[in-house]
């Protein structure tokens, strides 16, 4: 029913290039007159061969099949077949509508590409609809039951009626024309019950599947197959579309019924098990058959399934046949089916993958791409008509343009199959609301499950740690748990065993009857009357992980390209000249005023941050640390780190001052590190008796985890929680966890400032405390681009904009209670700092959860160029967080304001998905406009010249303030750390040419890694975690590499 009608599916033979739309000249009539008998004979032979092959395949595959012929569980191979069929439909219609002139690309970059596109359309036609109808037949297998009949009505019949009588004639057609007149006419037609727009495939599917329930399921599969073939062959002699039954689309339903029949009787699961694993080689044979062999076998076009025998490739031959040849014309339909089914089956069983891929999920949602793709293609064509697309006439250029449309088609599939788009049309294709209209309220409740699952499922303790149960809220309702309010007071063995907290007098702990062990959950239950300082229970559902988000990874690359190119296309459409004229027409006070304010804000930010950071070398005031002392646990996450680096880190931890209790040090190691025990022993030796306790944890990778810092610290913190809270009865909200990298040098007052910041808050239990990032410890070891990139990173974090949400980086502090509420760390998220901050925001309904604190922790920069690029890729992997936010909207029961607040913070975060897109498009647009202004300076309006000069002055002021801020950092904050300072010449080159270094560093360590990550996510999935080299040894390695070069 789509634009191409019957001509969208072409027949076999060189005369059918254009289907019914292709004129046949005198030469073709000569061929027809001489080749009719040969075609009939060939059709009989091919039909007989096809019948023998089908019978042999059925007998072979049915041996010991046992079960029903089709898959009882969802088949990935079927999903891939549906995905391929959807792709061929969309891509084929893009080519066909350009060939017929309905789209305009043949006038520009596809000019003269007919000789390439027609064979492609022809080959695609032999596979596309046969594949879709075959899959429909496979999915229709099975015995008749009340459940299947109900699904048939709710998932197919009612949606088809709503589509052809309401959605398509009124909404879809109005969106096609974008005309209010069309909308008015179609709404009026709907009001008068005259609205209708056919959809032949859905209507045919209703007839096919309905006939299986009524008729074909009563026969043996082989008998049903023969009867369906006979019905199709005999029905082809009659033109139903010219009768009163034209609206039923019986011609198409009968024309493609044989392909449905093949799928209906195919023992799909058995064949999938018997045949070898897929490979690429059969695809070459399939192409050879569809492009060369089949057209040579039949010089006259065979009747296509889109209509009766008198159209769709056979409209010139059918009127000429008489007698026996007329009686045998049905063999041509069987021959067409045989020619199409053989390559189609080979493609399904020998080429398509059978394991899960990143796009497999689309295969289960192909209805929306099938129905809406022409609308999207039409809009894309209209958009292309507005752009100055060059005229391309070379074959290589045509091939390149056709290949460029492949990701476009994939993007259309992704978008139209997405849950958001399907939700918009849920009223039409999932019409459960119809039942609510006809059922009584008490009947609606009977449709709900008899018993709901528990609100909180057990959360397994991972990574080699003993697994413990989690509180089951359903058990509380059933009386399995009992609650007991415990009085405040000093901890005793009795209160420790029951999980009491001396700081929370109204805290209610739930524990199992007659149980001696307390669980992680049993210490986190809150009372109905909650007071300040009390704990609360963890969320009833675990926070969605990255596993659910990976399905959206392939969407990120095309979405990024769209977000990046859309502003540039808008600029190209408006034109630099027009934009300059628009700017020149703006009054000066509306341009110069905001510029002046922006310039003045920078010194204000410098004054604010110098006041905030200036006294952090000293301990915070004593009144800020009043109250019960907190327990500090410093977690050093390490894997094969140099011992001297770990010793330096331990020394800075042991030297912490102005805290009431010595810290507990946890070294989180990996079980696969053979040197872990020696490294831990060296660290313990350095610490001596200056720490309260030394704990070493070992992480062993478990199923579902990815390698990296995130999974290691998750295992370590779960073990620490059990030891300190469950076994020793400590209050988890009185334990501050500080996460540090293995190469960290803590300011001597870091823990003191973290505790003071915690106590100064009205309620600081559910906040994250993060000091400014600093990677200057070995600054002189890095090359000029690495130095510039680190200065940009550190400067942006130290002098952050207080109007925006702050995010931790690498080193940060939070309470152990908050860790538990968040489910500790996500075991499959590499950017654990960004991800943990986002989870904390979710836990606090989108509020600002990360609090900046003034003390610094100094780390090493990665000196080597290639190593720094690898680290940049790991940093930029955080752009995949945007997929997690989409997964949250789909899987997490959140209110929109809470979700929007967290998602908005991610969008504004430096280095995020949309920020990276803005940076790239901004650099290109700025360069483009600057080049235009400079090259056309003499002809620019006076206002435009003034604005450009003012912008240049504002940039120079910001450049100067940037280096003033940096000088203040080196003068006031860096002396507390053992920094390897660069030479004076290094500073001169770095500062003097900083605009160039800044541009190059952004390109090399931000833009390129971003694109690299997007490509990796789209085609390879999760990134492999690579530890960055640390310590002074990397400088020696860099020198060796330079010497070798």
Who contacts 406 (Cβ-Cβ below 8 Å, separation ≥6)? 91
- The predicted model gives 717-744 an average pLDDT of 92
270 and 72 Cβ atoms separated by less than 8 Å: no
pLDDT digits (tens, 9 = 90+) for 899-929: 888 888 888 888 899 999 999 999 999 998 9
> Residue 476's pLDDT band (boundaries 50, 70, 90)?
very low
Question: Is the pLDDT confidence value at 621 over 60?
Answer: yes
Helix residue spans in 983-1032 (DSSP H): 984-992, 994-1002, 1008-1019
Residues across the chain: 1045
Question: 738 or 17, which is more confident?
Answer: 738
**Nearest by Cα to 532 from 762, 710, 770, 303:** 762
Strand ranges (E), 720-827: 735-741, 745-746, 768-770, 773-774, 812-815
Question: Is the pLDDT confidence value at 24 over 50?
Answer: no
> Residue 1044's pLDDT band (boundaries 50, 70, 90)?
low
- The predicted model gives 162-190 an average pLDDT of 92
Provide the pLDDT for residue 68. 44
**Nearest by Cα to 358 from 509, 547, 190:** 547
Residues above pLDDT 90, as percent of the chain: 36
> Residue 58's pLDDT band (boundaries 50, 70, 90)?
low
342 and 125 Cβ atoms separated by less than 8 Å: no
Q: Which two tokens stand for residue 818?
A: 């908050």
Provide the pLDDT for residue 484. 32
CA distance 869 to 918: 21
1 and 200 Cβ atoms separated by less than 8 Å: yes
Question: Is the pLDDT confidence value at 605 over 90?
Answer: no
830 and 877 Cβ atoms separated by less than 8 Å: yes
Provide the pLDDT for residue 18. 34
Q: Which two tokens stand for residue 804?
A: 């925006």
Provide the pLDDT for residue 815. 93
Residues above pLDDT 70, as percent of the chain: 83
> Residue 895's pLDDT band (boundaries 50, 70, 90)?
confident
Q: Of 111-120, 308-317, 342-351, give the lowest mean pLDDT range.
A: 308-317
Residue-wise burial string across 887-915, b where 16 or more C-beta atoms lie within 10 A, e elsewhere: bbbbebebeeebbebbbebbeebbbbbbb
Among 295-309, 354-368, 469-483, the range of highest mean pLDDT: 354-368
Give the Å distances, CA to CA, from 121 to 124, 836, 946: 5, 50, 57
Provide the pLDDT for residue 439. 56
644 and 685 Cβ atoms separated by less than 8 Å: no
Provide the pLDDT for residue 175. 92
Question: 1039 or 172, which is more confident?
Answer: 172
> Residue 446's pLDDT band (boundaries 50, 70, 90)?
very low
Q: What is the number of other CB atoms lying within 10 angstroms of the CB of residue 862?
A: 25
Provide the pLDDT for residue 479. 34
Cα pseudo-dihedral 809, 814, 816, 818, rounded to 10: -100
891 and 1024 Cβ atoms separated by less than 8 Å: no
Strand ranges (E), 344-461: none
- The predicted model gives 440-449 an average pLDDT of 46
Q: Of 559-563, 572-576, 851-855, give the lowest mean pLDDT range.
A: 572-576
Sign of the dihedral defined by the CA atoms of residues 947, 949, 952, 953, in that order: negative
Provide the pLDDT for residue 441. 53
Question: 620 or 792, which is more confident?
Answer: 792
Provide the pLDDT for residue 543. 84
Provide the pLDDT for residue 122. 87
Provide the pLDDT for residue 646. 92
CA distance 220 to 408: 45
CA distance 651 to 634: 12
Strand ranges (E), 788-880: 812-815, 850-852, 857-858
> Residue 134's pLDDT band (boundaries 50, 70, 90)?
very high
pTM: 0.60
Provide the pLDDT for residue 19. 35
- The predicted model gives 107-131 an average pLDDT of 90
Question: Is the pLDDT confidence value at 1007 over 60?
Answer: yes
Q: Of 253-267, 477-491, 583-597, 1006-1020, give the lowest mean pLDDT range.
A: 477-491
pLDDT digits (tens, 9 = 90+) for 181-237: 899 999 999 998 889 999 999 999 999 999 999 999 888 888 899 999 999 999 999
3-state SS, one letter per residue, for 840-851: HHHHCCCCCCEE
Q: Which two tokens stand for residue 466?
A: 């003993």
Provide the pLDDT for residue 298. 77
CA distance 872 to 1001: 11
> Residue 452's pLDDT band (boundaries 50, 70, 90)?
very low
pLDDT digits (tens, 9 = 90+) for 666-717: 999 998 889 989 999 999 999 999 999 999 999 998 888 888 888 899 999 9
Q: Of 443-457, 750-764, 821-835, 876-890, give the lowest mean pLDDT range.
A: 443-457
pLDDT digits (tens, 9 = 90+) for 519-534: 443 343 333 333 333 3
Question: Is the pLDDT confidence value at 750 over 80?
Answer: yes
Among 129-143, 354-368, 485-499, the range of highest mean pLDDT: 129-143
* 666: β partners: 635, 695
**Nearest by Cα to 936 from 579, 564, 465, 513:** 579
Question: Is the pLDDT confidence value at 539 over 70?
Answer: no
Mean pLDDT of the chain: 81
β pairing state of 745-746 and 812-815:
unpaired
Sign of the dihedral defined by the CA atoms of residues 240, 243, 245, 248, in that order: positive
> Residue 632's pLDDT band (boundaries 50, 70, 90)?
very high
Q: Which two tokens stand for residue 1044?
A: 């070798």
1005 and 785 Cβ atoms separated by less than 8 Å: yes
Provide the pLDDT for residue 187. 92
pLDDT digits (tens, 9 = 90+) for 753-768: 999 999 988 888 999 9
Give the Å distances, CA to CA, from 597 to 589, 795, 797, 802, 962: 12, 21, 22, 16, 17
Cα pseudo-dihedral 916, 920, 926, 931, rounded to 10: 170
Query: Which residue has tokens 């064979």?
Result: 119
Sign of the dihedral defined by the CA atoms of residues 66, 67, 69, 74, in that order: negative
CA distance 538 to 542: 9
Question: Is the pLDDT confidence value at 499 over 60?
Answer: no
Q: What is the number of other CB atoms lying within 10 angstroms of the CB of residue 193?
A: 8
Q: What is the number of other CB atoms lying within 10 angstroms of the CB of residue 298?
A: 24
pLDDT digits (tens, 9 = 90+) for 646-661: 999 999 999 998 888 8
Provide the pLDDT for residue 485. 31
Strand ranges (E), 648-702: 664-670, 693-699
């Amino acid at each position: 029913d789509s634009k191409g009608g019957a001509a969208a599916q072409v027949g076999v033979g060189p005369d059918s290039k254009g289907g019914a739309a292709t004129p046949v000249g005198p030469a073709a009539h000569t061929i027809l007159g001489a080749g009719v008998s040969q075609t009939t004979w060939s059709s009989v032979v091919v039909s007989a061969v096809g019948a023998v092959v089908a019978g042999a395949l059925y007998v072979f595959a049915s041996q010991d099949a046992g079960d029903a012929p089709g898959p009882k569980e969802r088949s990935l191979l079927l999903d891939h077949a549906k995905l391929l069929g959807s792709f061929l439909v969309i891509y084929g219609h893009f080519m066909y509508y350009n060939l017929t002139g309905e789209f305009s690309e043949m006038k520009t970059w596809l000019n003269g590409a007919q000789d390439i596109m027609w064979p492609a359309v022809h080959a695609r036609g032999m596979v596309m609809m046969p594949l879709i109808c075959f899959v429909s037949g496979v999915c229709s297998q099975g015995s008749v039951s009340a459940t299947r009949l109900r699904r048939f009505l709710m998932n197919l019949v009612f949606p088809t009626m709503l589509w052809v009588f309401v959605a398509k004639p009124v909404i879809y057609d109005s969106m096609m024309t974008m005309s209010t007149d069309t909308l008015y006419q179609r709404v009026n037609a709907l009001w008068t019950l005259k609205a209708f727009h056919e959809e032949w495939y859905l209507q045919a599917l209703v007839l096919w599947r309905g006939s299986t329930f009524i008729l074909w399921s009563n026969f043996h599969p082989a008998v049903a197959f023969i009867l369906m073939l006979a019905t199709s062959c005999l029905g082809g002699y009659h033109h139903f579309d010219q009768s009163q039954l034209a609206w039923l689309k019986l011609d198409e339903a009968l024309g493609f019924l044989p392909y449905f029949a093949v799928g209906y009787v195919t023992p799909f699961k058995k064949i999938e098990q018997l045949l070898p694993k897929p490979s690429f080689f059969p695809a070459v044979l399939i192409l050879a058959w569809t492009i060369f062999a089949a057209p040579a076998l039949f010089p006259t076009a065979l009747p296509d399934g889109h209509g009766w025998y008198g159209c769709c490739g056979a409209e010139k031959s059918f009127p000429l046949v008489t007698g026996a040849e007329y009686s045998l014309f049905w063999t041509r339909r069987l021959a067409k089916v045989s020619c199409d089914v053989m390559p189609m089956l080979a493609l399904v069983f020998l080429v398509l993958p059978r394991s899960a891929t990143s796009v497999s999920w689309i295969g289960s949602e192909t209805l929306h791409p099938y129905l809406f793709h022409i609308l999207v293609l039409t809009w894309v064509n209209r958009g292309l008509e507005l752009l100055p697309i060059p005229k391309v006439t070379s074959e290589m250029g045509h091939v390149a343009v056709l290949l460029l449309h492949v990701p476009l088609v994939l993007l259309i599939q992704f978008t139209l199959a997405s849950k958001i788009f399907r939700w918009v049309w849920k009223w039409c294709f999932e019409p459960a609301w119809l039942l609510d209209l006809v059922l009584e309220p008490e009947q609606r409740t009977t449709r709900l499950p008899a018993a709901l699952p528990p609100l909180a499922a057990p959360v397994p303790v991972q990574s080699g740690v003993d697994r413990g149960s989690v509180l089951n809220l359903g058990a509380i309702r059933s009386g399995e748990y009992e609650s007991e309010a415990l009085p405040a007071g000093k901890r005793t063995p009795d209160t420790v065993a029951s999980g009491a907290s001396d700081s929370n007098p109204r805290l209610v702990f739930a524990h199992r009857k007659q149980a001696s062990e307390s669980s992680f959950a049993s210490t986190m239950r809150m009372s109905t009357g909650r007071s300040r300082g009390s704990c609360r229970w963890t969320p009833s559902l675990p926070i969605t992980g990255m596993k659910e988000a990976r399905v959206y990874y392939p969407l990120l690359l095309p979405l990024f390209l769209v977000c990046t190119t859309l502003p540039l296309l808008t600029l190209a459409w408006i034109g630099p000249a027009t934009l300059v004229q628009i700017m020149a027409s703006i009054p000066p006070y509306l341009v110069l005023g905001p510029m002046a304010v922006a310039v003045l804000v920078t010194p204000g930010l410098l004054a604010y941050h110098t006041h905030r950071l200036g006294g952090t070398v000293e301990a915070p005031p004593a009144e800020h640390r009043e109250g019960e002392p907190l327990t500090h646990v410093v977690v050093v996450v390490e894997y094969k780190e140099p011992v001297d680096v770990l010793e330096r880190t331990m020394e800075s931890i042991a030297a912490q001052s102005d805290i009431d209790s010595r810290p507990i040090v946890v070294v989180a190691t990996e079980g696969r590190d053979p040197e872990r025990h020696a490294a831990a022993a060296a660290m313990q030796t350095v610490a001596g008796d200056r720490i309260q306790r030394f704990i070493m944890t070992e992480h062993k990778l478990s199923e579902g985890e990815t390698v990296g810092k995130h999974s290691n610290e998750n295992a370590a913190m779960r073990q620490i929680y059990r030891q300190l809270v469950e076994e020793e009865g400590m209050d988890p909200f009185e334990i501050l966890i500080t996460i540090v990298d293995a190469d960290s040098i803590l300011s001597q007052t870091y823990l003191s400032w973290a505790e003071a910041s915690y106590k100064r808050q009205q309620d600081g239990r559910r906040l994250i405390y993060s000091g400014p990032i600093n990677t200057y410890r070995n600054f002189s070891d890095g090359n000029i681009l690495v130095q510039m990139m680190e200065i940009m990173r550190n400067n942006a974090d130290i002098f952050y904009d207080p109007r925006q949400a702050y995010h931790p980086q690498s080193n940060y502090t939070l309470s152990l209670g908050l860790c538990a509420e968040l489910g500790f760390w996500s075991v499959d998220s590499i950017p654990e700092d960004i991800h943990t901050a986002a989870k904390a925001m979710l836990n606090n309904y989108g509020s600002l959860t990360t609090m900046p604190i003034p003390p610094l922790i100094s780390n090493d920069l990665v000196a080597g160029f290639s190593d720094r690029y690898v680290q940049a890729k790991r940093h930029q992997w955080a752009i995949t967080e945007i997929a997690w936010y989409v997964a949250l909207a789909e899987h997490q029961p959140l209110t929109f304001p809470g979700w929007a607040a967290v998602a908005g913070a991610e969008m504004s975060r430096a280095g995020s998905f949309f920020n990276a897109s803005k940076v790239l498009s901004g650099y290109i647009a700025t360069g483009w406009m600057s080049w235009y202004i400079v090259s056309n300076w003499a002809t620019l309006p006076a206002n435009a010249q003034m604005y450009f000069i003012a912008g240049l002055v504002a940039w120079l002021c910001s450049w100067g303030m940037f280096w003033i801020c940096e000088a203040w950092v080196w003068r006031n904050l860096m002396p507390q750390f053992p920094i390897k300072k660069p030479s004076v010449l290094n500073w001169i080159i770095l500062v003097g040419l900083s605009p160039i270094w800044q541009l190059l560093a952004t390109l090399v360590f931000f833009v390129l890694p971003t694109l690299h990550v997007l490509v990796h996510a789209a085609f390879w999935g999760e990134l492999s975690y690579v530890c960055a080299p640390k310590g002074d040894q990397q400088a020696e390695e860099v020198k060796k590499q330079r010497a070798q070069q």
